Chain A
Amino acid sequence: MKQLIKNFKKYRFLLSELVIKDIKLKYRRSYLGILWTLIEPLLTMIVLSVVFSSFYGRNDRTFPIYVLSGRLLYSFFSNATKSAMRSIRTNGQMMKKVYVPKYIYPLSSILSQYVIFLISLIVLVCVAAYLRVKPTIHLLEAIVPLIILFVMVLGVGLILATLAVFFRDMEYLWGVILMMIMYCSAIFYDPERVVKTGNGWILQINPLYSVILNFRNTVIYGQGLDLNALLYSAGFSIAALVIGLFMFYKKQDQFIMNL
């Protein structure tokens, strides 16, 4: 354990270098640069709001922010797990030559996505102010689902990173699963509609939906956290992290031979 911490300290600079690299390269050569983290979710929000408010007749004033909050959390989940999954393979050349603790690669790719995600929350603040959603004391609790989401992504990311080394088609499979998760997360529809049809369990077993639910409760509705959703998502995240760490450590010595 002591060895682990010492090792981590030594490679802290590498971790920050890799995080900065990811962010820098993502927006290099684009005219608006880092502003895209704000514009892109804003544009999707407008599209989704227009489509769903005219098609489904939702004229709720807070609908845009409802869509935006769901989409921001989902796209962090999707982007970060995807890049963690690819991280071992993309850094394979380096890994074959120099010793670096291997968890640095998935961890750095998730961290850089998290930083981009946190920056993109600025859009949420602006839209909320524009729509005059009043902040309440419960807004402070929003940090809880955000932390749970990070742990969840780290756990799932480590599991996927390990699997993807041995099975190259994980990427396609995960793409399909992600699509399923998206439709089961109530990003642009009202969960009540699903509950009415008797299929509410689909939402309940989705840990990402629990996170989104709590995030919306604190940010939009000025309510406290939903305890069931909180416990379920926290439990799932910790379990995923434990399984992820176990798989990763168990298999990491074989990565080189399979790259």
Chain B
Amino acid sequence: MSKTVIKVDHVGVKFQMGAEKVDNLKEFIIKKINRKIKYKEFWALKDVDFGIQQGDRIGILGLNGAGKSTLLKVIAGVLKATEGSVTTKGKIAPLLELGAGFDLQYTGAENIYLYGAVLGYSKEFIKERFNEIVEFSELGDFINVPVKNYSSGMKSRLGFSIATIVEPDILILDEVFAVGDAKFRKKSEKKIKSMFKDGVTVLFVSHNIEQVKNICNKAILLEKGRLIAQGDVLDVCEIYQDKLK
């Protein structure tokens, strides 16, 4: 029996949204004096409860605003749950869409080290894998050019290469196959599938149901912050498609 690597325990996330956005001191003071600050509470996630076994590939489905990204943020540890808790075992590597988080002034090579450091790896570890990352990204001599001169495809290729070559235990893929040419897309799908064999756990968010079916073995479906279905990927996809009609 494989072990549970992610345990999401009755998680709820509450956002406190000002009816209007007050983000400066001047407005804050004026409105405070007039007692005009109103807060609207809003649960982005409510009572979400499930577990993920090692080696599972979970597709996360749901319409826009269902809470998919919030759920990923809670699992990645970026956002703290208002209630409930999330426990994870192992190294999580989020795959940033379009290589968000790169420093644009920095060259590709420098960004590899920076991004590796952000993921919590040591210098030696990244040095060992540096060539592999450059090779996989197919950037060639562009690796020494500042990232601001990269095309969006190049950025996502570099981001993908770093996140996958460092061999994380849990990989978070948030709409990542939307960019990049068909050739690289095929290559990256192949890479991810080869990682399945090593027992990587994948969280995959996409609106493309075919892709979800292709990559995942299980799925969960969110609606307005609540978990309404979980289980085998084909079953959940069917429920989701019914919802779409």
Contacts and interface: CB of A to CB of B under 8 A. Distances in A.
Interface string A1-31: 0000000001101100110010011001000
Interface stretch (A44-52, A97-105, A124-132, A221-229): A97-105
B11 to A, nearest CB: 14
B103 A98 contact: no
A144 interface: no
A166 to B, nearest CB: 7
A168 B28 CA distance: 11
- Which size class do B's interface residues fall under? 20 to 34
Contacts of A18: 114, 117
A51 B117 CA distance: 48
A99 B25 contact: no
A14 B100 contact: no
Interface string B91-117: 010101000110101100010011001
B119 A98 contact: yes
Contacts of A95: 78
Nearest to B126: A13
Interface string B26-69: 10100000000000000000000000000000000000000000
Interface of A is mostly: helix
A122 interface: no
A170 interface: yes
Nearest to A257: B15
B15 A98 contact: no
A59 to B, nearest CB: 46
A42 B158 CA distance: 42
A167 interface: yes
Contacts of B96: 97-98
A14 B24 contact: no
B76 A98 contact: yes
A100 B118 contact: yes
Interface in B73-101: 73, 76-80, 92, 94, 96, 100-101
B173 to A, nearest CB: 12
A169 interface: yes
A258 interface: yes
Contact of B120 (A10, A25, A170): A10
A99 B92 CA distance: 9
B4 interface: no
A17 B110 CA distance: 9
A13 B123 contact: yes
Contact of A25 (B24, B28, B106): B106
B87 to A, nearest CB: 14
Contacts of B105: 25, 28
A13 B124 CA distance: 10
B141 interface: no
11 contacts: A11-B120, A13-B123, A21-B110, A94-B100, A94-B101, A96-B78, A97-B96, A170-B25, A173-B25, A257-B15, A257-B79
